[in-house]
A and B are shown apart, each in its own frame.
Chain A
Amino acid sequence: MIYEASTFAIVLFIFFVVIVLGLSFYFARKTKSASGYFAAGGTIHWAVNGIAFAGDYLSAASFLGICGMIAYSGYDGFLYSIGYLAGWVVALFLVAEPMKRLGKFTFTDALDAKFNSKAIQFTAALSTLIVSIFYLIPQMVGAGVLVTPLLGLPHWVGVVIVGAIVITIVATAGMTSTTYVQFLKGGLLIIFSTILAVYIFNNGFKLVPDSDDQKYHEFIELNEGNMQGYELVTNVEVKGHKFAKMENGGINRWFEQTETGYIEILSKTVEADGDELYNGEPKENSKFFQVGHMSKIIVDGEEVKETGALSPFKYLSTINNSEIVRFLKEHFEDGENSVTVWRQEITQGSDMLIPGLKFKKIKEESMIGKINFISLMLALFLGTASLPHILIRYYTVPSQKDARKSTIIAIAAIGFFYVLTLFMGLGAATNGVLDVESSNMSGPLLAKAFGIGLFSIISAIAFATVLGTVSGLIVASSGAIAHDFIDKFLGKDLGDKGKVRAGKIAAFAVGIIAIILGILFKGMNVSFLVGWAFAVAASANLPAILMVLFWKKTTAKGVAWSIIVGIVTALGLIITGPTIGEQFFGIAKENAIQPLDAPAIFSFTLALITLIVVSLMTQKDNSTKKFDVN
């Protein structure tokens, strides 16, 4: 679809950027020491830190990715919300206080507190960089996704703008400015998502979801007695679905053959010369419609055309009893043209509210689908407490008690937001707002259906979301390079100011890498990408963190080898898996080298076993050290 920039949105966007940069320059004057740059001097109030945690965590994946996934695949998207939130339990009960007690600037400090080992310093710094870059990719993709409708600019421009602003934020005031940006953005995201949810409940459901400024497209239905001037050009059958190209007035449109005739579908045709046609016409003709509606609404056993306002629970029970039309993608060749169609699929509301629309293979007898599902849920559960940009936030508060209390604030704020994601996703699925080319835009486009003002605010906050999370990730990466690698591993005594300078240079370099990757990965669902970051983090970091804290026989070599095995196995399985194969090498998913998309079940287990075995083999290394982490 074509997005038009709104003046209000542009003004709001500039206002947000000015506030964020103003905060950074204000704090820059106070941030001269390494402690101030990497850990905000350990002076942040626990309540502020708790909301800043939420700001860090509720990234583009949560707002853009999860809402989009719920809009297209129902409850399967909400599983990400559940898994992401559950991960905070690991952080609170096992990691928060010891992490605060043992570390200084980075999570490597905590791992290495017992050993002072070069191997740990190197591998943990490497792991921090890899996990942070994996997590950066979806944030930058999200930035590009947002800037297109907000400012009317291309994807790559959005990525470059975010990169430039974030490098400025981090390079000026490090963790202090990042914390207050996160606090501001986390609070605003929760407040305005709540307002959006109120709009959703107030609006209820309509069979024809017209909004104030846009009528919902009426899909053409043809039958033998009434072809409305359309003539059949060609037929194509894909996976049991029959598609027909029809010509009318010199324009070709695609329909799906039904039992009674033909129904219009959405199509994008890339012609041999590279020209793109949307529903048979150039993009600027605006014939590529926003979609997503209900085909049947049942309230208290009665079929109705609209419901009026609904309570949250009535909203869910109404969906459960009704029918939703989803638009599913198919791809085929038509002569020299490459055609992508989005066909209408009537889906029972009850199916939208259970797992299985995205994770279809859990319905099959095959074990692969089930293992993939378990592996994903394991990665989400174990990943949170292993994310370097989350762990470093424990060093910004004054005490262990504050670390614990800020985690509880984070759980409450994040949990509340995740409950809202289910309503926002389902609202997007049924209010005729979906852009089938960009699932990530579902949440902001839903806001647009309720007014350009709300859309502009929500989009600007979502943009700030990306800024905040990317800032946190770049602080974590720069800490890994300047503190863990240069200062500790290489043993270069940079001094306090030198370490801050090295951190700023590292932030610049990582920012540039993030920009490049954000452009390369355009088009992937951001929550799916974050799932990988969680898998790598859980495999590389968590076995080491947990065993250092809870197993006295853990040795430095055990920790280092566990990190290496975790990284290599997780990355190896991701790279050889079905999604990378299809996205980058054009290999059909069924022909992938190995069938797993979610590696954590193997990579985490292998890393844990490695740590135990290597530690038992190197017990003599611990014989001269006496240290109790509790």
Chain B
Amino acid sequence: MDHGPAVELGVDKASAKKAKLGVWLFILYTIVYAIFVAIGVLNYEAMGKIVLGNQNLAVVFGFGLIILAIIMGLIYNWICTSYENKLNKEEQS
């Protein structure tokens, strides 16, 4: 009854830093998402205001949340990769 992973994983010295970064990015996105939900609940009519390129706030905010998730994902991956390259190489040397 082993509990280990399906494949052998090497030691990842960057995991603590990556986890911390992940938590901060999660909090940041959650705040933006919460603002979106709050506007929907407290002042849904504000969602109808034209804010950018003839589009209303609902469309801009909705598309924005999707695009933000992709951009934050790319940034997260870039920083995590640099942590891994730095800390795991230090470990190897």
Q: Which residues of A contact B (CB under 8 A)?
A: 35, 38-39, 41-43, 75, 78-79, 81-82, 85-86, 88-90, 92-94, 97-98, 100-105, 109, 112-113, 116, 313-314, 316-317, 320, 350-351, 353-356, 362-363, 370, 373-374, 377, 381, 395-396, 398-401, 404-405, 407-408, 411-412, 415, 418-419, 422, 487-488, 491, 549-550, 630
- Docked pose: A549 CA to B16 CA in angstroms: 11
- List residues of chain A with CB within 8 A of the CB of B76: 92-93, 404, 408
Cβ-neighbour of B63 out of A105, A400, A419 (below 8 A): A419
Q: 7 tightest CB-CB pairs across the interface, nearest first?
A: A42-B7, A93-B22, A317-B54, A42-B6, A93-B26, A39-B6, A354-B47
Using a CB-CB cutoff of 8 Å, which residues 45-71 of chain B contact chain A?
45, 47-48, 50, 53-56, 58-59, 62-63, 65-67, 69-70
Contact B22 A373 (CB under 8 A): no
How close is B14's CB to chain A, nearest CB, in angstroms?
9
- Docked pose: A197 CA to B46 CA in angstroms: 28
Contact A411 B70 (CB under 8 A): yes
Cβ-neighbour of B5 out of A103, A116, A356 (below 8 A): A103
Contact B18 A97 (CB under 8 A): yes
Cβ-neighbour of A412 out of B19, B36, B70 (below 8 A): B70
- Docked pose: A97 CA to B16 CA in angstroms: 11
Which residue, A90, A103, A353, has most C-beta atoms of chain B within 10 A?
A353
Contact A93 B23 (CB under 8 A): yes
Contact B9 A101 (CB under 8 A): yes
- List residues of chain A with CB within 8 A of the CB of B74: 408
Question: With A94-B26, A353-B56, A353-B59 in contact, do A400 and B7 touch (Cβ < 8 Å)?
Answer: no
Which residue, B12, B50, B62, B81, has most C-beta atoms of chain A within 10 A?
B62
B63 and chain A: residue at smallest CB distance:
A419
Contact B12 A411 (CB under 8 A): no
How close is A134's CB to chain B, nearest CB, in angstroms?
23
- Docked pose: A290 CA to B9 CA in angstroms: 56
- List residues of chain A with CB within 8 A of the CB of B25: 89, 93
How close is B61's CB to chain A, nearest CB, in angstroms?
9
Contact B7 A398 (CB under 8 A): yes
- List residues of chain B with CB within 8 A of the CB of A399: 7, 9-10
Contact A89 B40 (CB under 8 A): no
Contact B66 A82 (CB under 8 A): yes
How close is A38's CB to chain B, nearest CB, in angstroms?
8
Q: Interface code B1-43, partner A: CB below 8 Å = 1, 0 otherwise?
A: 1111111011010011011001101100110010011001100
Cβ-neighbour of A101 out of B2, B5, B36, B70 (below 8 A): B5
A-B contact pairs, 24 of them (CB 8 A): A42-B5, A43-B7, A85-B65, A86-B33, A89-B26, A89-B69, A92-B22, A92-B73, A93-B22, A93-B26, A98-B19, A104-B2, A104-B3, A113-B3, A320-B54, A320-B55, A354-B44, A355-B47, A381-B33, A404-B80, A422-B62, A488-B1, A549-B19, A630-B19
Contact B36 A82 (CB under 8 A): yes
Extra contacts, 9 of them, besides A101-B15, A630-B15 (Cβ < 8 A), are A41-B6, A42-B5, A89-B72, A104-B6, A112-B3, A313-B53, A377-B37, A401-B81, A415-B70
Which residue, B15, B25, B30, B59, has most C-beta atoms of chain A within 10 A?
B59
- Docked pose: A81 CA to B62 CA in angstroms: 9
- List residues of chain A with CB within 8 A of the CB of B12: 101, 400
Q: How many Cβ-Cβ contacts under 8 Å join chain A to chain B?
A: 169
- Docked pose: A408 CA to B72 CA in angstroms: 9
- Docked pose: A354 CA to B58 CA in angstroms: 6
Contact A408 B48 (CB under 8 A): no
A90 and chain B: residue at smallest CB distance:
B26
How close is B64's CB to chain A, nearest CB, in angstroms?
10
B39 and chain A: residue at smallest CB distance:
A355
Q: Which residues of B contact A (CB under 8 A)?
A: 1-7, 9-10, 12, 15-16, 18-19, 22-23, 25-26, 29-30, 33, 36-37, 40-41, 44-45, 47-48, 50, 53-56, 58-59, 62-63, 65-67, 69-70, 72-74, 76-77, 80-81, 84
- List residues of chain B with CB within 8 A of the CB of A109: 3
Contact B66 A415 (CB under 8 A): yes
A549 and chain B: residue at smallest CB distance:
B19
Cβ-neighbour of A85 out of B41, B53, B66 (below 8 A): B66
A121 and chain B: residue at smallest CB distance:
B1
- List residues of chain B with CB within 8 A of the CB of A396: 6
Contact B9 A86 (CB under 8 A): no
How close is B19's CB to chain A, nearest CB, in angstroms?
5
Contact A630 B33 (CB under 8 A): no
B21 and chain A: residue at smallest CB distance:
A93
- List residues of chain A with CB within 8 A of the CB of B4: 104
- Docked pose: A400 CA to B12 CA in angstroms: 9
- List residues of chain B with CB within 8 A of the CB of A404: 76-77, 80
How close is A202's CB to chain B, nearest CB, in angstroms?
20
- List residues of chain A with CB within 8 A of the CB of B5: 42, 100-104, 395
- Docked pose: A405 CA to B78 CA in angstroms: 10
Contact A407 B73 (CB under 8 A): yes
- Docked pose: A65 CA to B33 CA in angstroms: 22
- Docked pose: A332 CA to B73 CA in angstroms: 51
Cβ-neighbour of A550 out of B23, B29, B55, B77 (below 8 A): B23
- List residues of chain B with CB within 8 A of the CB of A400: 9, 12, 15
How close is B2's CB to chain A, nearest CB, in angstroms?
7
A43 and chain B: residue at smallest CB distance:
B7
- List residues of chain B with CB within 8 A of the CB of A320: 50, 54-56
- Docked pose: A382 CA to B58 CA in angstroms: 21
